[in-house]
Structures are given as structure tokens and as C-alpha cells.
Amino acid sequence: GNSVTQMEGPVTLSEEAFLTINCTYTATGYPSLFWYVQYPGEGLQLLLKATKADDKGSNKGFEATYRKETTSFHLEKGSVQVSDSAVYFCALSNPGGFKTIFGAGTRLFVKA
């Protein structure tokens, strides 16, 4: 079946450090891939997405590239800020779309 595996947290970085959060997936067919972010006390919101192989999603300085050959969708940001502290979820959605599969989430702490 479909699954998403992302690196365990928490990840603790200093401000302006480089961020990578790894995400790999198992899926049949050609899923869409997503990164959602959850700030404290809030619901999830879309950070970026990619709908086909080699697509790069980007938003607010974050990027992720849909790599079908390695079944990966790693999240990167060149210089994190304290305001990026949140929980990040990798997710996939197959045709039919309704049963989105979420990873367990990775908590990021950024220190000033």
C-alpha cells in the first residue's frame, strides 16, 4: 500500500542554518506530493506541492523536488528563521485523491 516516511524529529537549528527534512514514499501509479506545515495551535496548511516527476514546488524560501527514481520529496530551505519553527508533514495523494497519506511529521525548532 501507499506510505510516507519522513525523518524523525525534533530537528533543532540555529537561525540562518540550512534545513533538509527527508521524505520518501511508496505508491502505486503517479501520486501528487505535498508538504504541509502546522504552526502551534493551528491546523495544517499547504506549504508546497508537486504533481509530476521532476517538478519542483517552492514557497516562502522552501523547495522540494519530486524525484521518482529515488521516490523522494525532500524539503529544503537555505536559511531558516525563528518563525519557521513548526511541524512539517510530507503527504501523497493518488488518483481518486480522497485518501491522502500523511507522514508522521517532523518538528523543527529554530533558535535565535
Contact positions vs other proteins (CB under 8 A)? 4, 31-32, 34, 36, 41-46, 49, 51, 89, 93-100, 102-105
Instruction: Give me the least distance between CB of 93 and other proteins, in Å please.
Output: 4
Cβ closest to other proteins, residue 102 vs residue 109? 102
Cβ closest to other proteins, residue 46 vs residue 53? 46
Amino acid at 112: A
Cβ closest to other proteins, residue 51 vs residue 79? 51
Instruction: Give me the least distance between CB of 43 and other proteins, in Å please.
Output: 3
Provide the phi-psi class of 38: left if phi over 0, else alpha when psi is between -120 and 50, else beta.
Answer: beta
Q: Which residues pair with 7 in a beta bridge?
A: none
How far is residue 48 from each of residues 32, 76, 77, 91, 112, measured CA to CA in Å? Answer: 11, 11, 12, 11, 25
Cell (9 digits) for 50: 508537486
Instruction: Give me the least distance between CB of 88 and other proteins, in Å please.
Output: 11
